Structure 1
Amino acid sequence: MPSDQETDLRDAIQFHGHLCPGLALGYRVAKAALRELKAERPHDEELVALVENDSCAADAIQFITGCTFGKGNFVFRDFGKHVYTFYNRKTGEGIRIAEDYRGYENDPRYPELKKRQEAGEDVSKEFQQYKMDKAAAILRADDAEIFRIERAATPAPEEAKIRASLRCSRCGEKFMESRGRMNNGVVVCIPCSEKG
């Protein structure tokens, strides 16, 4: 019988589509967040995730923690950093997890494979093996080898608000009230406002 970890990981892989270093990192981050905040996968917005990148890790975090865009408790901040902040609204606690994995920093395989690929050589199988090796290393490493965990310095974001829908005066499509823009005296959606 598979362990809970094996089942969770297998299901996260199925959700994302493949195993890769980013998914492995997101899986480890999500599990650490739930453990550190003494939280379970929420049914609503009890747990909040602020994610500072749009990498594969985000899928694992959504799947394992139950924080999603649709519920409004998965917040994306496009900083390009492997930094993840979680809040438990029941306890008021928050943690910030910053990736700090150094296991592959001096690995000569990546630059060599990239150089060969740019020269036109098919290195897809070798790249796949490189990624699998990196994912496996992340999955078996101690937390302290992969990331730093500290208390969150900022308060949790507000709960998601349900807003009224308005109809764009130009295209006729509905949009969230808070995203409307005034353009020539009428309220329009963002894409129509950018058309001038």
Structure 2
Amino acid sequence: MRSLDEDLQAAVAYHGHLCMGMVLGVRMARHGMQILGIDDPLSFRDSIVYVEMDRCATDAVSVVTGCTLGRRRLKVVDYGKMAATFVNLATNEAIRVSPKIVAYPQPGEDPVVFMQSFKDEELFLWKKVFISIPPEDLPGKPLHNVVCEKCGEIVLDRREVAVDSKTFCKACVNKPYYQDI
């Protein structure tokens, strides 16, 4: 397992800057993996992480755990919370970790130095949780695909919507995030 400094350096190299979110994300990921007994997360391929925010900490969690969106091992459930759930697929164990204190360094103070004064047990709450992961959400090849009857695009992994016995993508049923020009 990398040291805390090595994880911080890797996270900053990926993300582009050092901030409290990076420090919290690195510490949260290290703490979660440690509780699950995963000593070398970068070589452990039986984990999935659900992050509850789309902020700096998410990049840090991804870098420390080796879980990425493209490999289907990082899941974003945007609750706007600084929290993450770490799942060991080999044992079906899962824990959710979140900060229990809100503390920020003074302007100009190094966030790494500031956070060193807190032990993980002071900084984080954690609890065992259960997550039922459908087969189509697991890493690996798509298990199912259909063609949207309106736009003709392929919809993977049971993300389609059935309306009046017809199959559509979510964008055709709901308002998409984009507008055609």
TM-score past 0.5 threshold? yes
Residues 165 and 153 of structure 1: CA distance in aligned 2, closer, same or farther (over 3 Å) = closer
Gaps of 5+ in 1: 110-125
Give the TM-score of the pair, scaled to structure 1: 0.71
Q: Is 2:78 aligned against 1:78?
A: yes
In the alignment, the residues of structure 2 paired with residue 47 and residue 147 of structure 1 have an alpha-carbon distance, to the nearest angstrom, of 20
Gaps of 5+ in 2: 176-181
> What's the secondary structure of 1:80's corresponding residue?
coil
> What's the secondary structure of 1:96's corresponding residue?
strand
| Maintained 8 Å contact 1:87/1:156 | no
In the alignment, the residues of structure 2 paired with residue 97 and residue 177 of structure 1 have an alpha-carbon distance, to the nearest angstrom, of 28
Q: Is 2:150 aligned against 1:173?
A: no
> What's the secondary structure of 1:178's corresponding residue?
coil
Q: CA deviation at 1:170?
A: 2.7
Larger gyration radius, structure 1 or structure 2 = 1
In the alignment, the residues of structure 2 paired with residue 136 and residue 172 of structure 1 have an alpha-carbon distance, to the nearest angstrom, of 54
Q: Is 2:1 aligned against 1:18?
A: no
Q: Percent identity?
A: 29
Counterparts of 1:118-133 in structure 2, within 5 Å, are: 129=108, 133=110
Q: Which of residues 110, 126, 131 in structure 2 aligns to 1:149? A: 126
Give the TM-score of the pair, scaled to structure 2: 0.76
> What's the secondary structure of 1:179's corresponding residue?
coil
Q: Deviations over 1:118-142 (max 9, x none)?
A: xxxxxxxx6xx3xx54454125521
The alignment of Structure 1 onto Structure 2 pairs a total of residues equal to 170
Partner of 2:93: 93
Residues 133 and 66 of structure 1: CA distance in aligned 2, closer, same or farther (over 3 Å) = same
Q: Deviations over 1:56-103 (max 9, x none)?
A: 111111111112222333222222222222122223433221201243
In the alignment, the residues of structure 2 paired with residue 7 and residue 181 of structure 1 have an alpha-carbon distance, to the nearest angstrom, of 44
Q: CA deviation at 1:30?
A: 0.8
Query: Which structure: greater helix fraction?
Result: 1
RMSD: 2.9
Partner of 2:31: 32
Residue identity in the other structure for 1:97: V
Partner of 2:179: none
